[in-house]
Structure 1
Amino acid sequence: PPDLNRMLITIRNALDKSTLITETKTLKRKVSKTRDIIGNSPAIQKIKDTVDRVAPTDARVLVTGENGTGKELVARWLHEKSSRADSPLVEVNCAAIPSELIESELFGHEKGSFTSAIKQRIGKFEQAHNGTLFLDEIGDMSLSAQAKVLRALQENRITRVGGDKEISVNVRVVAATNKNLYEEIKRGNFREDLYHRLSVILIHVPSLNERVDDIPMLAEAFLAEIVDDYKMAKKTFAPEAIAELQRINWTGNIRELHNVVERLAILSQEQITAQDVQLYARPGQNSRAQTDGIDLDRFGSLEELLDWAKDLWTKKGK
């Protein structure tokens, strides 16, 4: 007779392998495929044209725009379309790193150079050698770090913190900021010479409110991507739902639109209606009665919300 335990283990291993393969495919798609710059508005067409012209060169680029507009996506396409595409694209969020650690993060450090430096560290400039270094939110970088970045751009050499050896680096720098750097220069918070080094090419990414004609294309693309990731049945937007999305004041820009579409994909039926948009687009501004009694704040993640919704639909179907 067959060994039941062995059979169960074999089935479990097969299921685990299938799940792992699916997760790996999803992760590879997210990591390796840079999302297209979506939209046909004049401002977006201008950005696409500029990227096509500038990417093959080594010119430094400064990308400006509000939070959530897609500055990182522009940086990724500048890298993908360049001769450096087969080399690393290394990203640094200057706003997320404490000022006392930013120099170590960018330039690395030698063992023992400070209390917690228990081993040598290779910095982002070295990691990006022959590739692209994306300095996001560079307006938040400390003045001392700015001085060292300026020197690295001028001389194509860096020195690790605590070291004395100069290391040659071949890096293309793309920077981004949500700040008005002219104002930061006036306030003494940003070096004017570094600004001129970085802004050989300037690309401004408009807010979503400035490109509402792109919302239908963006929403449809996000919905298709989310439905695929969650293995849902196909869903569509009613024309009235798209019109409702276009009436919203998008303070969070593309990032906010993506989150709203994800929420709508989970909570709505096969066709997303204008009423769905009114109920779920801004849950924090709706009462519990307006959301059919659903307290959206009790869910810690969209995965929890999806599990709850599936359970609810199962019960309704019985």
Structure 2
Amino acid sequence: MLLIKTRKQLKEHLTSLDEKDSIGLVPTMGALHIGHTALVKRAVQENSVVVVTIFVNPTQFNNPKDLENYPQPLTTDLKILREIADHIIVFAPSVEVMYAENVKSVSYDFDGLDQVMEGAFRDGHFNGVGTIVEALLTLVEPTRAYFGEKDFQQLQIIKKLTEIRNIPVEIIGCPIVREANGLAYSSRNERLSKNIRNEASFIYKTLKAAKQKFGTKSAIKVKDWVTKQFEQHEDLKLEYIEIAQADTLKPMIRKHKNIKYRAFIAVYAEDVRLIDNIALN
């Protein structure tokens, strides 16, 4: 496994590859878990070369405390990746390498995809995501790039990014990987106490129940029901529940047969913010 920390070294290595080699890119912020390894394993299966990036991107954190508390166990992450495949290229740059002296986001027009749900609660978040993802796609020039559907809104925004920037890459969304109790894997889960981590399974249980209700009830009634469920759960604080079109992320007003919908949720467990989503039809 090759660990690279500078743009120049990464570019030189990638330039030396055979032109026929396909490159898979898996961008991460480290603190790798089973959800990440599922992305990496798929990338290894589908590409000649795999680049995994480990970079905690400061411009996508609207909460400085969240950035400060974000785990960065690089040694452990490298061990995890080495066990998957020994030919993975790991790019782990510093903030200075990625941003030089200008740690600032680019401003994008994502056609409203960034204004709802996460965008409504995390000001500037998706400009930060777009900035680092565009930088990595431009640097690596991958054939395919892999992202988890847990961050489904982010996935749609990255697809829009490649469209507006005309970046020739296939963006692949991979299914959510869950813990045994249904909680979506996240690096943030490690900050939960054992008891609350078990209690947080309520999030997915409620989403599954909402999916069943969606077959016969309106979006407003389903959202009201979800809200009431969390009002009865003192350890979990609902930030939002939204039902939206899967492709445009526009909140659902009236159900149409030929449109795919998803339910999106954000919940605080202790001081840890958890997100999840589920396809409804």
TM-score, length-scaled by structure 2: 0.29
Q: Which has the higher strand share?
A: 2
